[in-house]
Amino acid sequence: MTRTAGAGEALLEVDSVAKSYGALDVLTAVHLSVPAGQALGIVGPNGAGKSTLLSVINGTERATAGTVRFGGRDVTATPADARARAGMGRTFQVPRPFAHLTVFENALAGATAGAGLRGRAADDRALAALAMADMLGVANTPAGALPLLGRKRLELARALATDPRLLLLDEIAGGLTEAECDSLVATIRSLHTQGITIIWIEHVVRALLAVVERLVCLATGVIVADGEPSEVMRSDAVRAVYLGGAL
């Protein structure tokens, strides 16, 4: 929002990134270039390496090989907190609330640490993030007392409070009812129209297709399909991944 990248200029570039835990290769040579303002969806079976890819992008995990560039800067060796301050927001698939803090204070942590705000500006940012995630009503509730849906929304609110340029969403719609899912889709779509670049991992394909303009399919640590969402969903590669059969 503050920095408007020209059309086609990549905000995020993932270049031949690999990640292995000992002998287990989770990601092998992943290439991904995401232009500023794009909404990108990632699908793939369990264990394909989707969450690991987000972790390598935001710095929660270090890549074993390859480089990650964000806003033109090489951030491969940059710690996660510095990447967050540079404008990467991330939600976790299994919510990680700050259980003893209130919902507002959870968001405030993002607004102060991530967005670097203080005083009234930080309060306002955190309140705006709660409003966007529809959590203002439970602002004073201890985060540890939230039900699953609340925890998922809290993940989103906290990430938004950091004022991200790039938002990494990890299965934020999983486990929601259809109505809840629709309101979440509306929220994410409005974030997209505000110009925030989004990378969204999701098993609920219907929700994903309602927002993203590009879809990537990840399987056994490599990208097997990348392109226009409906074409990707129809492609032989994706059918093979989900339904079995020769690639």
The reply to whether 205 sits near other proteins by the rule CB under 8 A is no
b/e for 74-109, b at 16 or more Cβ within 10 A? ebbebebeebbbbbbbbbbbebebbeeebbbbbbbb
Q: Give me the half-sphere count of Cα atoms (radius 13 Å) on the Cβ side of residue 21.
A: 6
Applying CB under 8 A, does 58 fall inside the site for other proteins? yes
Tell me how far, at minimum, the Cβ of 132 lies from other proteins, in Å.
9
Q: Which stretch binds other proteins (CB under 8 A): 57-65, 145-153, 203-211, 219-227?
A: 57-65
Smaller CB separation from other proteins, 51 or 224? 51
Stretch that binds other proteins, among 24-32, 133-141, 179-187, 208-216 (CB under 8 A): 133-141
Site for other proteins in 142-161 (CB under 8 A): 158-159, 161
Closer residue to other proteins in complex, CB, 27/115 = 115
In the complex, minimum distance from the CB of residue 46 to other proteins, in angstroms, rounded to a whole number: 21
The 3-state secondary structure of the chain reads CCCCCCCCCEEEEEEEEEEEECCEEEEEEEEEEEECCCEEEEECCCCCCHHHHHHHHHCCCCCCEEEEEECCEECCCCCHHHHHHCCEEECCCCCCCCCCCEHHHHHHHHHHHHCCCCHHHHHHHHHHHHHHCCCHHHCCCEHHHCCHHHHHHHHHHHHHHCCCCEEEEECCCCCCCHHHHHHHHHHHHHHHHCCCEEEEECCCHHHHHCCCCEEEEEECCEEEEEECHHHHHHCHHHHHHHHCCCC
CB of 53 to other proteins, least distance (A): 15
For residue 80, state whether it binds other proteins (rule: CB under 8 A). Answer: yes
155-194 binders of other proteins (CB under 8 A): 158-159, 161-162
Binding of other proteins by 2 (CB under 8 A): no
Q: Using the minimum distance from each CB to other proteins, give the nearer residue, 134 or 213.
A: 134
Q: Between residue 96 and residue 125, which ones bind other proteins under the rule CB under 8 A?
A: 96-102, 104-106, 108-110, 112-116, 118, 122-123
**Interacting stretch for other proteins, rule CB under 8 A, among 22-30, 89-97, 196-204, 212-220?**
89-97
**Nearest CB to other proteins, comparing residues 52 and 217:** 52
The residue count for binding other proteins (CB under 8 A) is 43
Nearest Cα residue to 243 out of 217, 216, 215, 208:
217
Binding site for other proteins (CB under 8 A): 58-60, 79-82, 84-85, 90, 92, 96-102, 104-106, 108-110, 112-116, 118, 122-123, 127-128, 131, 136-137, 139-140, 158-159, 161-162
